[in-house]
Amino acid sequence: MKNKEIIAKVSKEFGIDITKRTRKREYLYARAVYFKLAQDIFRRSLTSIGKDIGLDHATVLHSINNVFPTIQMFEPGVVKTYNKLYDRIKFENEQHRELPTTSEEATKEILDLRYRLSFAEAQARKVMSLGPFEDLLCHIPEDKVDLVRVRLDAMIKML
């Protein structure tokens, strides 16, 4: 998939032309989503990502490192749109990739998939396991759960 195709999908999803030269927030956020998609899914160079919308690599880097984290913190709707586009583009990209033609390529593909599956399983176990906190959380009385949630949220914000 080419950068221009990703640009078209992001522009359509946000209902704006992300190539337009403006610093309005909705355009910044939509461009940040495009930059992040192009980097996360296709591992494109920053120069390549920015070139198709007339921006340089430094702007792309700034957006990925500063604008996108702000989106993640304060704009759940934009994050939801990013996730939807990520899943759709990733699925379309996987549907169009070439199948291995030799047994050696197929073996490499299988080993790569096994590695990625074991990595994903390990990540899932980390997420699902709360470690030493799991036992503590199980002993919280049900009528105090909301209070604990509020206090934990406050403690996390202080970090």
Own/partner long-range contacts of 19-24 (Cβ < 8 Å, ≥24 apart): 19/52, 19/53, 19/54, 21/54
Each residue of 17-27: pLDDT tens digit?
999 999 999 99
pTM: 0.62
pLDDT at 128 (0 to 100): 64
Cα end-to-end distance, the chain, whole Å: 41
Each residue of 70-99: pLDDT tens digit?
999 999 999 999 999 999 998 888 777 677
> Domain ranges in the chain?
3-97, 131-158
Q: Which residue has the tokens 């992001």?
A: 10
List of the chain residues with pLDDT < 50: none
Pick the CATH number of 3-97 from 1.10.1750.10, 3.40.50.880, 1.10.10.10, 1.10.645.10: 1.10.1750.10
pLDDT at 102 (0 to 100): 86
pLDDT at 129 (0 to 100): 63
- Cβ atoms of 99 and 89 within 8 Å: the answer is no
Looking at the chain, list the stretches that DSSP marks H as alpha helix, in order from N- to C-terminal side. 3-14, 25-42, 46-51, 57-62, 68-74, 76-95, 103-128, 132-138, 145-158
